């Protein structure tokens, strides 16, 4: 058993390498749970395994780090939506895939109900922070435009009426997404949230009372005819 009280010196050299993507994901998860104002630099350091100087050197201050995580979340959401809204699927099924994918984010397995990172954190800060407000607005527009593009295609293919308004329908589709996010964070059950999504899809596709599957079959018949 060593008896010396002399501190063991660590070898000098370059600091421990870090994975930028993982560090940003870890930081995002802290912001997601605690919000921007409720997250401390100590929490961010502990989550990422990086001390404050390293955090500043890699990502800037807390505000810059938050904006980076928010922008990456929005882009990841857009890519997930594009993938879910596949042109090879009937519109009702494609929309439901978007909402199912969102619920997987909002209700992660083995974790608390987190809701949407963008809605849950940026909406609070947007009142007093112009940069966050701009990022939130851009995120909302991004999701609206992604829905709108798919609705325009559905209209061309006969899945939506000729007088439908894709831009307006896109905002309704986004509103359903935001409602799921808020209700998920408030503790609504997965079953209740999915039922809301199914009803929303039927409403958008003009099939009130229809399931997405039956509405999809009807849309396929319209395209074939």
Whole-angstrom Cα distance, residue 121 to residue 132?
Answer: 10
The better pLDDT of the pair 26, 213 is held by 26
Confidence of residue 19 (pLDDT cuts 50, 70, 90): confident
Q: What CATH number has the domain spanning 70-224?
A: 1.10.357.10
pTM of the model: 0.82
- pLDDT tens for 98-148 read 999 999 999 988 778 899 999 999 999 999 999 999 999 999 999 999 999
- pLDDT tens for 59-86 read 999 999 999 999 999 999 999 999 999 8
Domain ranges of the chain: 70-224
Look at residue 87 in the predicted model and tell me its pLDDT: 87
- pLDDT tens for 167-208 read 999 999 999 999 999 999 999 999 999 999 999 999 999 853
Read off the pLDDT of each residue in 17-43 and give the average, rounded to a whole number: 92
**Is the CB of residue 31 less than 8 Å from the CB of residue 121?**
yes
Look at residue 115 in the predicted model and tell me its pLDDT: 95
Of 219, 75, 95, nearest in space to 135 by CA: 75
Look at residue 7 in the predicted model and tell me its pLDDT: 36
Of 32, 38, 29, 28, nearest in space to 121 by CA: 32
**Is the CB of residue 50 less than 8 Å from the CB of residue 18?**
yes
- pLDDT tens for 37-52 read 999 999 999 999 999 9
pLDDT exceeds 60 at position 156: yes
């Amino acid at each position: 058993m060593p008896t010396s009280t002399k501190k063991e010196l660590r070898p000098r050299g370059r600091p421990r390498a870090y994975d930028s993507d993982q560090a940003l994901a870890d930081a995002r998860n802290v912001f997601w749970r605690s919000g921007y104002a409720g997250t401390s630099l100590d929490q961010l350091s502990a989550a990422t395994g990086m001390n404050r100087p390293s955090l500043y050197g890699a990502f800037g201050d807390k505000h810059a780090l938050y904006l980076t995580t928010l922008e990456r979340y929005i882009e990841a959401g857009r890519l997930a939506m594009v993938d879910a809204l596949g042109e090879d699927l009937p519109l009702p099924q494609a929309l439901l895939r978007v909402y199912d994918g969102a619920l997987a984010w909002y209700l992660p397995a083995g974790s608390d109900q987190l809701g949407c990172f963008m809605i849950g954190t940026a909406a609070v800060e947007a009142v007093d922070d112009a940069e966050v407000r701009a990022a939130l607005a851009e995120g909302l527009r991004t999701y609206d435009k992604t829905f709108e593009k798919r609705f325009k295609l559905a209209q061309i293919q006969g899945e939506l009426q000729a007088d439908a308004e894709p831009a307006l329908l896109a905002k309704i589709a986004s509103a359903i997404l935001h409602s799921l996010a808020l209700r998920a964070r408030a503790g609504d059950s997965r079953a209740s949230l999915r039922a809301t999504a199914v009803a929303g899809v039927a409403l958008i596709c003009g099939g009130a009372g229809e399931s997405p599957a039956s509405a999809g079959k009807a849309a396929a018949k319209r395209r074939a005819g």
